[in-house]
Amino acid sequence: MHRITKLFTIFLLLVTLSSCSSLSWLKFWGDDEDEIELPAILDEITKKVIINSLWEVKVGKEKPVGRILPSISGDKVFYINPEGELFAFEKSTGRKLWERETNDQASGGIESAFRKIIYATLDGEVVILNQENGQEIWRAQTTSEILSSPVTNGSVVVAQGADGSVAAFDLDTGEQNWIHQVSVPNLSLRGTSTPILRQGFIFTGFANGTVAMIYPESGSVRLELPITINEAASELERIVDIDGKVVVANNLFVAASYQGHITAIDLQQGKPIWQEKISTTKDLVEARSRVVAIDDKDIVKAFGLSSGVILWQQEGLKLRGLTSPVNIRGNIAVGDFEGYIHILNAGDGSFLGRSQISKNPILEIVSEGDKLAVTDEKGRLFFLSLK
C-alpha cells in the first residue's frame, strides 16, 4: 500500500512539473497519430473593398436538405424556405412585397426568369408560379427528389433528379418533353449538380463522374463522357460525384468531382485538353480567364482556363466551411462557418475585403452587379453591396 501511494505521489509531481508543457510524453502506446487539423485563423487584411449591409430579413427556421438560393430578378429578390414559404422583397429596401404558403417541402431553387418563379421539391415536383403575385401556374412530377435548382431558357424548364435523371418540361404548359437517364452508383453523395444553359445546350454532371451536353428541345445527347475514373478498392473511395455547377467559357466545358479531377473539355473536339487532381462538391466559377474551385479542405484554387495550370491557391480559409464561390465584378466572394463574407482577388487570390454579417454559418451566395444576396444557417437573408 505504501509503495502504491509513493508511486502515485511521484506521478502527480511529474504531471505538475509538466503542466505548462506538452504531455505527449505520457503517451506510451503505439505511434503518434496524425494531428487534428483546425480551421484557419483569419489574419488581418488591408481592405480594398468595403462590404455594406443594405438590409436583412428572417425567412425561415430549418436548414435546406437540397440547395435553395435567393434569386435576384429586376427590382425584386425572391426566396423560398424549406417549409415552403415563398417571399418577394423589394430589392432596394428589403420591404416584403408578398408572401405565399405553398405547403411544399422545397429542396431546390429559386430560378426567377421570364416572369416566372421556379422551384423543386423533395417529392420530385417542379413548380412554376407567377412572379408578380406568387400564384401557381403549373406543377409536374419527376422520377425522384430534386436537390438543385431547375433552370429555364424561356422555352423549357430543366430539372435534375437525384436518381440520375434530367427532365425537360414546356415552360408554358408543364408538359414533359423528354427525360434523359444515367445510372447512379449504389453509393453516392446526397446532392446533384445544377444544370446550366449555355450556347444553346444543357451542361451538367452526374454521380457516376460523367458530364453531358444535351439539346434542350429534344433531349438528344451531343456529348457524354467521364471526367474521372476512380478504381480504388472500396466503394467509399470510388465515390466521384459531380455535385457542383460546371463552367462553360471560351468553348471549354469544365467540371470537377469529389475524390477525382477537374477536367476541361474542348467543345469543338469533344475531348479533354487538361486535367488536374481535386476533390470538391462545390460549384466552379470563372473569373478573369481562371476557373476557381474550392477543394474538400477549403483551399481556394485558380486554374488557367485554357491551360489548367494552378495560377494561385489561397490557404487562408482552410477548413472554414466555405460556400460555393461566386463571381462579383470579376472577383470571388465566399462565405464561411463563422458568418464572414470574404472577397478575393481573382487575379492573384489575395484578400480584398471581409465582413462578418452573421454569427452563423453562411449557406449560399448569389451575385448581381455589385450586389450579393446571402443566406445563413439560421434562416436569415442578407442583401449586401460592394464599394
* Secondary structure, 3-state, 52-103: EEEEEEECCCCCCCCEECCEEECCEEEEECCCCEEEEEECCCCCEEEEEECC
Starting at the edge strand found earlier in the chain, the sheet holding 221-226 runs 196-198, 201-205, 210-214, 221-226
The domain locations on the chain are: 36-386
pLDDT digits (tens, 9 = 90+) for 208-233: 999 999 999 999 999 999 998 877 78
**Looking at the domain 36-386, which fold is it?**
Methylamine Dehydrogenase; Chain H (2.130.10)
Looking at residue 23, its pLDDT comes to 34
Q: Is the dihedral of CA 234, 237, 241, 247 positive or negative?
A: negative
Interval 289-307 mean pLDDT: 98
9/175: higher pLDDT: 175
Looking at residue 231, its pLDDT comes to 76
pLDDT digits (tens, 9 = 90+) for 63-94: 999 999 999 999 999 999 999 999 999 999 99
C-alpha cell at 352: 480584398
Looking at residue 17, its pLDDT comes to 35
- Omega within 30 of 0 (cis) for the link into 110: yes
pLDDT digits (tens, 9 = 90+) for 134-189: 999 999 999 999 999 999 999 999 999 999 999 999 999 999 999 999 999 989 99
pTM equals: 0.89
Looking at residue 235, its pLDDT comes to 86
Looking at residue 342, its pLDDT comes to 98
Q: Is the dihedral of CA 306, 307, 311, 316 positive or negative?
A: positive
pLDDT digits (tens, 9 = 90+) for 32-65: 455 789 999 999 999 999 999 999 999 999 899 9
Looking at residue 12, its pLDDT comes to 41
273 SS3 class: strand
Q: Are strands 106-113 and 67-68 parallel, antiparallel or unpaired?
A: parallel
Lookup result for grid cell 442583401: 383
